[in-house]
Structure 1
Amino acid sequence: MGDVVEMLGAGLAPGVVVTDPEVMAAYARDMASFSAVGDPLAVVMPRTVEDVQHVMRTATAARVPVVPQGARTGLSGGANAVDGCIVLSLAKMDRILEIDPVDRVAVVEPGVVNAVLSRAVAERGLYYPPDPSSWEQCTIGGNIGTGAGGLCCVKYGVTAEYVLGLDVVLADGRLLSTGRRTAKGVAGYDLTRLFVGSEGTLGVVVKAVVALRPAPPQQLALVAEFPSASAACAAICTIMERGHVPSLLELMDGTTIRAVNAMAQMGLPESTEALLLAAFDTPDPAADLAALGELCTAAGATEVVPAQDAAESEMLLQARRLSLTALERVSTATMIDDVCVPRGRLGEMLDGVAAIAAEYDLTIGVCAHAGDGNTHPVVCFDAHDPDESRRARESFDAIMALGLELGGTITGEHGVGLLKKDWLARELGPTALELQRGVKAVFDPLGLLNPGKVF
């Protein structure tokens, strides 16, 4: 394999190819638990499209697998190294190439951090809506790879709806351009959408054209406390049925509330079993919040607290932003599930997760993008306790089975990776799985790109 490293280095600048064991160990995995990790042959940190092409041509010639990576903030093992692979980190391809306020697009390299792009376009009076919780670290390339979502999805949608065109290096090193930068375009098959959510199994994204929106008004938020998860979910159903379009609609269950209280002493009532957070960025957000607050009260909310200004809104939303961090402090490890169900069955999902927590004798907190039915049950467990680790994995699977039983999907935004590939087969069924494997074979006939992931 030393020959492969020499072949890589022959076409790249000094320092781009890294074989230091400690560095390679740092790049070997993402943030998922229970996912296998291999030992890479080398880590390559390209700066240019030509660098990426050289890597893929070398990998094809030597029949060496390649694992593309963004910031490794993923939660499904999709960026984990396999034995003898080239880890291809796109983090240093981090330029914003263009911001066009007329066509309302930005052209970016894959290593651009989500928050950096968001702030850059905001300076031009524009808005890039997709906002994963890890937006301060995650990259646009990673967001595209997993089809990431975020808090704003209820109104603005997910990453796939903002990717207009891509430049992709294929497995054999050829450069493919897909999509467009025009407002409309339906020529040919939609290869751009095919790459979004493909988790690096079809090609390596080296440039993206993403859609922007005019910056919305400053949002105002509201918090409603409920005595049960089912009451909060009933309020969510009514809110959506009545045609309200909040810019944010989030839910925390009682377990999550108590974890946040323990960490941040926020003073949330311990008797509250569900906290609903809503926001509007409409021309008259106060009026919209008042109407939504009435619906919450009618559904059984014990208290409704609307913010008066942006500072109060941020304070109210702080509890939701702390949810995952707080649950991580409950035990030595967590597994974060990502099951999306129809909104009308959200209450059944939360009640079912509570029953699973009791059955497996584990702490499982749920925070959710309630407006689109995307739940994030967080299984807390002692990684040093084999029996508890076993129960954690079994409870994780039970939660996914529940989601499918309720007509949902095993992942709304985190991707399949290693963690859920067996469950993908169950969700898709044999015919769809066969066709998807056929698509993979067209783009990557040697199976070199992110092998063992997704399928």
Structure 2
Amino acid sequence: MRALVDDLRRDLPADRLLLDPDLVTGFVHDEAEWAPHGTPCVVVRPRTADEVQAVVLACVRHGVPLVARGAGTGLSGGANAIDGGVVLSTALMTEIREIDPVERLAVVQPGVVNDDLRAACAERDLWYPPDPASAPWSTIGGNVATNAGGICCAKYGVTRDYVLALEVVTGTGELVRLGRRTAKGVAGYDLAGLMVGSEGTLGVVTEVTVRLRPRREPEHTVAGYFSSIVDAGRAVTAVGAAGLTPSALELIDRHCLSAVDRWKNMGLSADADVVLLGRTDAPGAAGEREVEAMLACFEGAGATWAARSTDQEEADALFAARRLAYPALERLGPVLTEDVCVPRAAVPEMLARIEKTAAESDTLIASIAHAGDGNLHPLLITPPGDEDARRRAQAAFDRIIADAIDLGGTVTGEHGVGLLKRDGLRAELGPVVLNLHRAVKDALDPHGILNPGKVFSRAPGAR
């Protein structure tokens, strides 16, 4: 390790390296509860693609694992450090290099914070749609690594739908450009798309070119209160069956509402056990029709109260509660976060199974969801230091994954596999498809240095 650090000191400015254990500690894990992590020998914070390339080449020469890290907001352990390895932080790569209003694209370094890009685009009447709940803190590079989605993805898609091109350092230390700036192009395989969602196992992203949209119309909000989470799930199915594509359709259960109320005193849990929030940004008469149709779906599914919000401040407060749910629940104890996604028609059944799992495992499971595209986030909360509760929660976590697969779903909609979902991924893909993934990994990272042990890749030293 000393030889590796000497090489890095030779190739990089001195301020790029962190060796002080007290400083290194802040880079060893993401927000995934109970995901294991190691202690790296050094944290490197490059500013340029050439510096990233120098780090990768040094790791190749010395056979040392490399973990790329954005803001550390992940929830699967994908950015967790490996003992004796290198953590490459993109925290200093924060340049918005270009916003082109004609081509409707932006070129950014991977450390740019999602909300900072969105704000810069808004100044030019443009919009970058992917909006994970962590948008005020998470980075574009991290969003690319996990193919992040967010509240508006039911209508506008996820990160992969907006990535046009990438600059990447491969596992052999080659600096390459993948994709293109043009609106269309089918020359060769979609290697840029392959990188999106690969969680740092195929390359280290040094630049991202994303497509943009024109600034959209103001949204209209519909809120529905339900006495049963399954009834709220039926409303979600009804919205899809009615042919509606809301710009957002979010679910918050009573546990989340109560936690937000205790923290922020918003008074939401006094009125509802479950809140379903719908939005439409369709213009003019089309928007009015969509609002009325959504209301009819909510009422037909058994809403105890449903109405269009005429107060923008009130509407924004409801969506703020949705974003506050996770940090509010963290105040109660360790939170193990699920991220399963099922077909929209299966949402009621999946919600019912989650409730059954909570009861039978004696585990507090709160639910929030990007319900419009079937992406559910059951949040498993345990009392601090209660090992028996932790074991029950882990069993419930595994059971929820199995139920999602059984209903034709997937183990992760937007958080990634990381360390927490590896068994679930194997169950979902099967051995033949898993070997196809490993063949791609071996081709792009033949030395096995990029984020080993994560997703499906082998642990350091394994064959």
Equivalent AA in structure 1 for residue 58 of structure 2: T
Residue 158 (structure 1) aligns with: 158
| Equivalent pair of 2:172/2:447 in contact (CA under 8 Å) | no
Secondary structure in 1 aligned to 2:275?
Answer: strand
Secondary structure in 2 aligned to 1:339?
Answer: coil
Residue 296 (structure 2) aligns with: 294
Q: Distance in 2 between matches of 1:398 and 1:255?
A: 20
What is the Cα deviation at residue 270 of structure 1?
A: 4.5
Residue 403 (structure 1) aligns with: 404
What is the Cα deviation at residue 236 of structure 1?
A: 1.3
Equivalent AA in structure 1 for residue 336 of structure 2: M
Deviation string for 1:383-429 (max 9, x for gaps)? 31111111111111111111111111000000000111121111100
Residue 273 (structure 2) aligns with: 273
| Equivalent pair of 1:356/1:399 in contact (CA under 8 Å) | yes
Equivalent AA in structure 1 for residue 361 of structure 2: Y
Deviation string for 1:294-319 (max 9, x for gaps)? 22112211111322143232023222
What is the Cα deviation at residue 359 of structure 1?
A: 1.1
Query: RMSD of the TM alignment (CA)?
Result: 1.2
Equivalent AA in structure 2 for residue 419 of structure 1: L
Q: Distance in 2 between matches of 1:129 and 1:158?
A: 8
Residue 125 (structure 1) aligns with: 125
**TM-score using structure 1 length:** 0.97
1:414 is aligned to 2:394: no
Q: Distance in 2 between matches of 1:314 and 1:79?
A: 32
Residue 240 (structure 1) aligns with: 240
Secondary structure in 1 aligned to 2:14?
Answer: coil
Deviation string for 1:74-119 (max 9, x for gaps)? 0000000001101000111110000001110000110000000000
Residue 350 (structure 1) aligns with: 351
Alignment of 1:177-192 (within 5 A): 177-192=177-192
What is the Cα deviation at residue 14 of structure 1?
A: 1.8
Q: Distance in 1 between matches of 2:340 and 2:269?
A: 27
Equivalent AA in structure 1 for residue 413 of structure 2: G
Secondary structure in 1 aligned to 2:15?
Answer: coil
What is the Cα deviation at residue 287 of structure 1?
A: 4.3
What is the Cα deviation at residue 293 of structure 1?
A: 1.0
Residue 175 (structure 2) aligns with: 175
Aligned residues: 454
| Equivalent pair of 2:254/2:269 in contact (CA under 8 Å) | no
Secondary structure in 1 aligned to 2:349?
Answer: helix
Change in 2 beyond 3 A, CA 1:156/1:38: same
What is the Cα deviation at residue 219 of structure 1?
A: 1.1
Residue 453 (structure 1) aligns with: 454
Secondary structure in 1 aligned to 2:434?
Answer: helix
Residue 377 (structure 2) aligns with: 376
Q: Distance in 2 between matches of 1:354 and 1:169?
A: 44
**TM-score using structure 2 length:** 0.96
Q: Distance in 2 between matches of 1:258 and 1:33?
A: 22
Q: Which runs of 5+ in 2 are unaligned?
A: 457-463
Residue 103 (structure 1) aligns with: 103
What is the Cα deviation at residue 26 of structure 1?
A: 0.8
| Equivalent pair of 2:154/2:248 in contact (CA under 8 Å) | yes
What is the Cα deviation at residue 259 of structure 1?
A: 2.5
Equivalent AA in structure 2 for residue 378 of structure 1: L
Residue 324 (structure 1) aligns with: 326
Q: Distance in 2 between matches of 1:265 and 1:93?
A: 38
Residue 202 (structure 1) aligns with: 202
Secondary structure in 2 aligned to 1:9?
Answer: helix
Q: Distance in 2 between matches of 1:221 and 1:73?
A: 28
Q: Distance in 2 between matches of 1:76 and 1:381?
A: 17
Q: Distance in 1 between matches of 2:259 and 2:346?
A: 25
| Equivalent pair of 2:172/2:446 in contact (CA under 8 Å) | no
Q: Distance in 2 between matches of 1:306 and 1:320?
A: 17
Q: 1:305 aligns with which of 307, 314, 317?
A: 307
Q: Which runs of 5+ in 1 are unaligned?
A: none
Residue 56 (structure 2) aligns with: 56
| Equivalent pair of 2:172/2:444 in contact (CA under 8 Å) | no
Deviation string for 1:426-448 (max 9, x for gaps)? 11000001110111000011100
| Equivalent pair of 1:218/1:310 in contact (CA under 8 Å) | no
Q: Distance in 1 between matches of 2:46 and 2:122?
A: 28
Q: Distance in 2 between matches of 1:269 and 1:8?
A: 54
Deviates more, 1:71-80 or 1:282-291: 282-291
Change in 2 beyond 3 A, CA 1:103/1:63: same
Secondary structure in 1 aligned to 2:404?
Answer: helix
Q: Distance in 2 between matches of 1:443 and 1:10?
A: 27
Deviates more, 1:138-147 or 1:168-177: 168-177
Deviates more, 1:398-407 or 1:305-314: 305-314
Q: Distance in 2 between matches of 1:156 and 1:363?
A: 33
Deviation string for 1:252-296 (max 9, x for gaps)? 123222323333333235573321101111213444323311221
Deviates more, 1:238-247 or 1:163-172: 238-247
Residue 460 (structure 2) aligns with: none
Q: Distance in 1 between matches of 2:320 and 2:53?
A: 43
